[in-house]
Each structure stands twice: as structure tokens, then as C-alpha cells.
């Protein structure tokens, strides 16, 4: 759905990552959650979870709270992602929140880094971490990936693999675990042109979207047309919109119920400061709305961060058809004068001067011209130094440029595979009464595309002829790559159908003669009769989506579920 459709590159990077990579990306300093400790037992909790649970419970269960208090709790829920440790601690104290298990008092909140630390190599001196996401492996390989793509933008690289996070309180079954499968796409694009050539393929889609404004004004998600949401600027750009549309098609094709799927935009306070826009595909399950896919425009942040730390330019070029005349800022530090003035720290001063942006440089030039001297902050020295007029020349020069060099922006869909699969189980699970009506039978309504077992084969009664025919069909199914299960137990046919329904098997072939067989479809329980020879190829076509069940029904002699019940 993604890799072939966009001709993506694929990579497989190691889980153990050197510290320097995650230092550059910001994870070593900032990949933290706020934690509080039970003062007596030492048990740890996520501070925001405790506050969230408290406010939600008050809103849902406490009928005595005033309208004013209810509004306050709602407000806290909306902005708490933005709280500093002190603000979060103050709220926990104000509401008298205690440790949920013991009711003991709690410590002040403090940041806890979610990465598992390790050391690389026998000396134990090289610090490393288990990767908290797969994306960084793609960013540090950008130069090679860009080269493999013929130095052309846009292009995407994808990776699937394990990610590790030392979650403070894993909970909700499979939804918050410490080791999970992540699938990430990094789509690199020119920041000045975020249009997408295939946007029209998805622009007419309509589905539940939950923009920032609707969340802030207490409304609920509503059906929006994707093309309009992009045209109005609700979604920041076409490429981000394209991936939102593709994720919608992906999830619904898997069997996620479209009424229980919404795309929620991040609130300004939830979003990383560098992100241009971010939407989460949230799926409703018995645990509430769960973030399963994050789709973010991360601008040029990641490539810039790795460029700065490694000194390797992670950039793309656009060649001009005709050379362009441009005005360029030229900063020339006069090393002789700077050397005399700053000696050993000359290098730091030179680097800081060269790193000035246009506004800073032009302000310095004006001050040097009027006063002959300027105070200048050198961040690597952590202090101001005095720069004199003879130490630097700043000018603007006209130059001919043949190409534009820029850091690409990246649009990143990031899929939590375990969460999607868990939600799929819930959405596909259903029950229906048994024929006698005395019990409820479980059915997993997995679409054939994702059902782990596509077909069961069983002889109607135990006899050698039917068992031989079953073996022939099984062999053919194997040769066309269809996963299947044979059931030759003598149990009643009804029981055997019930068993396969419970496993979510979409088709069952029943051998009731040595020339022809029936194929039963799980959800309708309808059956068609096909020749023994055709059975495997019909199941393979319908299981792989080359034919629909309606096509099969129309092409072969058939009987409906009521008649099938008679047979059972």
C-alpha cells in the first residue's frame, strides 16, 4: 500500500544506537515523561496520567461538582501537556491526588528519560541506547538515500522494526508496552513546494476529522472532505493531506471501522516547536480513543540537527535552468586581528561570527560603522566579547547561482503496529446466535486480505475418497500461496464452521463429492458450488481481492445461508 505505491526506499538500521545520534536528535535531553513516586513504597507513576485520571473521573462520575469546576477540569485536560514539572506538581497538590494503590503522598514530579541505556563494545566506554523510534536511522543515512534516489526530491524511505521505551506505567494491555513494532515513513520534500502529484487520488475522501479549533471549542469530530480541509488550510499542506488520506485507506482496508476512526490534529501545546502540523489517526476501542498512527510535518528539524552535530551537510539541490543573480551575505572574519585579540578562543569567535543570520549581521555592520565597536555573544564561550571594526568585514555581494541548496522538510507517518492490530481485533470481533439459538458464537470478521488463515478444508464425512480430494485441494492451495487449515475430525459440519469462524477464517471448502465442493463465506454463511479442480483458484482470487464474493456468487451455482443451515 505504501512502499510500492510511492516507490519508497527501504532500510533496516540497528536497534542499538550510539549516544551521539540521539544527542543530536534531542532524545538524550528531551525524551522524558514526568514521574512521581509514592513517598513510602517508591512505586512510580506518570504524573500526567494521575492528573488526567483524576479530572476525567470527576467529570464522569462526580455529579456534585459545579459548572465552574467542571470547566476548570476540562481546561486542565486540554492544556496539561504544556505544564512544567512545577505546574503539574502544584495541580497534584491542589487536588490532593495520592498514590492510586496505597493513598500515600506523592513526590514532586521529575523528568524520567524513556530510553534504555546501554554501553557499546568491550570497554563499556561508548554509551548507547536502544532506539526509541526507527526514524533516526533514516535521517543519519539521508545522504546515501538521496544518492540512491538519483539526487531527486521528493522521495521517501521506510523502515519497520522494534522500538524500545522504558514506559513508567505500561498499561492497557498491548497498547502501552516497553518494546513494540514501529513502522515509519520519512518522506523528504522541498519546503517551498509541498504539493503532491497524486493528491487528487485522495482529495474526495470524506472521513472523521477533529481539527484544533473544534477541540478547543468543545465540539466533536466531524466528517470533512480532505480536499477542502487542505484548501482551507486546516491541514497545512498537500503532502501531509495525501498521507492522511493514504493512512485512512490503509486502516479501513485492514478492517478498521470508519465510524470509529478519526484524525485528530495536535493542539499547539502538544506539538513539538519545530513541527508545522501534526495529525494522529485515533481508533476507538474499549480503552477509549487510542493514538495508533502519528502523521507529522517535522519541517527541516531532524536533518538540520544531525547536520549541525556531525558537520556533514544533509541537504538537497535544485538546479536552475538559467543561472540566477542573487544577493548573498558575505561575512569575512579577519583572522589576524581576531587572533591577536582572542588568542586560544579565536576559533569560537570566528565560528559564531560566521553563523550569524542576515539580520544579525546587518545590525552588527550598522553598529560597527556608527560606533566602531559592538558587544557580541559567543554561545560556545557563554559570554559577550567586544568586536572592533577591523575584526570583520560584512557585505552583500551579487553572485550568479546555478543551483539552490536547501535542507529538505520531512513528512513522517509513524505506525504503532501492535496498537493497530489490537484495535483491529476489537473492530472485527462479533457474536451471532447459534442455529439452535441457545448460545452466542464468536466470529472474527477479518477481511480476507488480513485474515491469518484464509481457508479451511474439510471432508463432509470421514471417508477415504473425500480425504483424498481434501489432500488434492490442500496441495493446490499451498502452491498458490493460500494459508489454510485442514479439519478431518468427524465433528458435525456446523461445529467445524463455528470453529473456523472463531479463528476469523473467511472461506471454508467442504468436500462432499469427488467431483465438486462447496465454498462457504464466513460473514453471510452463503455457499457456492464449484468443481474440485477450480476450488483452489477461486479461493485464491477472492482471498487476494482479485474477485469479490459477489462476483463468485454470481458466477457459480449457489445457495443462501438459510439453505446452508439446513445442511448443517
Q: Which residues bind ligand AMP (CB under 6 A)?
A: 133, 165, 167, 176-177, 180, 182, 291-294, 414, 416, 418-419
Residue closest to ligand AMP when measured from CB atoms: 416
Choice between 413 and 448, CB closer to ligand AMP: 413
Choice between 133 and 238, CB closer to ligand AMP: 133
Return d(Cα 220, Cα 211) in angstroms, integer: 9
Give all strands (DSSP E) within 370-418, no chain letters.
373-378, 383-388, 392-406, 409-416
Choice between 203 and 414, CB closer to ligand AMP: 414
Residue with cell 566579547: 385
Host H or E run for residue 69: helix 67-79
Q: How far is CA 297 from CA 44, 167, 241, 308, in A?
A: 33, 25, 10, 20
How long is the chain? 568
Choice between 167 and 190, CB closer to ligand AMP: 167
Smallest distance from the beta carbon of 125 to ligand AMP, in angstroms?
30
Smallest distance from the beta carbon of 177 to ligand AMP, in angstroms?
4
SS3 210: strand
Return d(Cα 431, Cα 276) in angstroms, integer: 44
Are the C-beta atoms of 254 and 424 separated by less than 8 Å? Answer: yes
Smallest distance from the beta carbon of 165 to ligand AMP, in angstroms?
5
Choice between 278 and 477, CB closer to ligand AMP: 278
Nearest Cα residue to 36 out of 22, 53, 23? 53
The CB density around residue 356, as the number of other CB atoms within 10 Å, is 17
Smallest distance from the beta carbon of 130 to ligand AMP, in angstroms?
13
Return d(Cα 385, Cα 383) in angstroms, integer: 7
Return d(Cα 167, Cα 180) in angstroms, integer: 11
Residue 80, phi then psi, degrees to nearest 5: -65, -25
- As beta bridge partners, residue 245 has none
Choice between 174 and 356, CB closer to ligand AMP: 174
Return d(Cα 97, Cα 102) in angstroms, integer: 11
Choice between 72 and 257, CB closer to ligand AMP: 257
Smallest distance from the beta carbon of 15 to ligand AMP, in angstroms?
15
Host H or E run for residue 541: helix 535-543
Cell numbers for 280, please give them.
494522529
Smallest distance from the beta carbon of 419 to ligand AMP, in angstroms?
4
Smallest distance from the beta carbon of 168 to ligand AMP, in angstroms?
10
Choice between 226 and 292, CB closer to ligand AMP: 292
Provide, for the chain, the percentages of residues in helix, strand and coil under a 3-state DSSP scheme, each rounded to the nearest 5.
Answer: 35, 30, 35
Choice between 133 and 277, CB closer to ligand AMP: 133
Smallest distance from the beta carbon of 348 to ligand AMP, in angstroms?
35
Choice between 269 and 384, CB closer to ligand AMP: 269
Choice between 72 and 270, CB closer to ligand AMP: 270
* Cα 23 → chain centroid: 22
Return d(Cα 435, Cα 152) in angstroms, integer: 61
Residue 452: DSSP 8-state: S
Smallest distance from the beta carbon of 492 to ligand AMP, in angstroms?
42
Smallest distance from the beta carbon of 62 to ligand AMP, in angstroms?
30
Nearest Cα residue to 508 out of 522, 498, 495? 522
Smallest distance from the beta carbon of 336 to ligand AMP, in angstroms?
50
Amino acid at each position: 500500500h505504501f512502499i510500492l505505491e510511492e516507490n519508497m526506499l527501504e532500510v533496516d538500521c540497528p536497534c542499538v544506537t550510539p549516544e551521539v545520534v540521539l544527542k543530536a536528535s534531542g532524545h538524550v535531553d528531551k525524551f522524558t515523561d514526568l514521574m512521581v513516586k509514592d513517598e513510602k513504597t517508591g512505586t512510580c507513576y506518570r504524573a500526567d496520567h494521575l492528573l488526567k485520571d483524576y479530572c476525567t473521573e470527576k467529570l464522569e462520575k462526580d455529579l456534585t461538582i459545579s459548572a465552574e469546576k467542571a470547566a476548570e477540569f476540562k481546561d486542565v485536560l486540554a492544556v496539561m501537556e504544556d505544564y512544567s514539572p512545577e505546574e503539574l506538581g502544584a495541580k497534584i497538590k491542589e487536588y490532593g491526588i495520592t498514590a492510586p494503590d496505597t493513598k500515600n503522598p506523592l513526590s514532586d514530579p521529575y523528568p524520567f528519560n524513556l530510553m534504555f541505556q546501554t554501553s557499546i563494545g568491550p570497554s563499556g566506554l561508548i554509551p548507547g541506547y536502544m532506539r526509541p523510534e526507527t526514524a533516526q536511522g533514516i535521517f543519519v543515512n539521508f545522504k546515501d538515500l538521496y544518492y540512491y534516489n538519483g539526487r531527486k526530491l521528493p522521495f521517501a524511505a521506510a523502515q519497520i522494526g522494534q522500538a524500545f521505551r522504558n514506559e513508567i506505567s505500561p498499561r492497557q494491555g498491548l497498547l502501552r508496552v516497553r518494546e513494540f513494532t514501529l513502522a515509519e515513513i520519512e518522506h523528504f520534500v522541498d519546503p517551498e513546494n509541498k504539493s503532491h502529484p497524486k493528491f487528487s487520488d485522495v482529495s474526495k475522501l470524506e472521513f472523521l476529522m477533529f481539527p484544533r479549533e473544534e477541540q478547543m471549542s468543545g465540539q466533536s469530530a466531524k466528517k470533512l472532505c480532505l480536499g477542502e480541509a487542505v484548501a482551507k488550510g486546516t491541514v497545512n499542506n498537500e503532502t501531509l493531506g495525501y498521507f492522511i488520506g493514504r493512512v485512512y485507506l490503509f486502516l479501513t482496508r485492514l478492517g478498521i471501522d470508519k465510524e470509529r476512526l478519526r484524525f485528530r490534529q495536535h493542539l499547539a501545546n502538544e506539538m513539538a516547536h519545530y513541527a508545522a502540523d501534526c495529525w494522529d489517526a485515533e481508533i476507538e476501542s474499549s480503552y477509549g480513543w487510542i493514538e495508533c498512527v502519528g502523521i507529522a510535518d517535522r519541517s527541516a528539524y531532524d536533518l538540520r540537527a544531525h547536520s549541525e552535530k556531525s558537520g556533514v551537510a544533509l541537504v538537497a539541490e535544485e538546479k536552475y535552468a538559467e543561472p540566477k543573480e542573487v544577493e548573498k551575505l558575505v561575512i569575512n572574519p579577519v583572522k589576524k586581528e581576531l587572533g591577536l585579540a582572542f588568542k586560544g578562543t579565536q576559533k569560537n569567535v570566528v565560528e559564531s561570527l560566521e553563523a550569524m543570520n542576515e539580520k544579525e549581521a546587518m545590525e552588527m555592520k550598522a553598529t560597527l560603522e556608527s560606533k566602531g565597536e559592538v558587544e557580541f555573544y559567543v554561545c560556545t564561550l557563554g559570554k559577550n566579547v567586544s568586536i572592533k571594526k577591523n575584526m570583520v568585514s560584512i557585505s552583500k555581494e551579487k553572485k550568479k547561482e546555478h543551483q539552490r541548496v536547501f535542507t529538505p522538510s520531512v513528512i513522517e507517518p509513524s505506525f504503532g503496529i501492535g496498537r493497530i492490530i489490537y484495535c483491529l481485533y476489537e473492530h472485527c470481533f462479533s457474536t451471532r446466535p447459534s442455529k439452535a439459538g441457545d448460545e452466542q458464537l464468536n466470529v472474527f470478521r477479518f477481511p480476507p486480505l488480513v485474515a491469518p488463515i484464509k481457508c479451511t478444508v474439510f471432508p463432509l464425512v470421514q471417508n477415504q475418497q473425500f480425504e483424498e480430494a481434501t489432500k488434492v485441494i490442500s496441495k493446490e492451495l499451498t502452491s498458490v500461496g493460500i494459508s489454510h487449515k485442514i479439519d478431518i475430525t468427524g465433528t458435525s459440519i456446523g461445529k467445524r464452521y463455528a470453529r473456523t469462524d472463531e479463528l476469523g477464517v473467511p472461506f471454508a471448502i467442504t468436500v462432499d463429492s469427488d467431483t465438486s465442493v462447496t465454498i462457504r463465506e464466513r460473514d453471510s454463511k452463503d455457499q457456492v458450488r464449484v468443481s474440485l479442480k477450480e476450488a483452489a483458484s477461486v479461493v485464491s482470487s477472492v482471498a487476494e481481492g482479485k474477485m469479490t464474493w459477489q462476483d463468485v456468487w454470481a458466477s457459480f451455482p449457489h445457495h443462501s445461508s438459510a439453505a446452508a443451515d439446513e445442511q448443517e
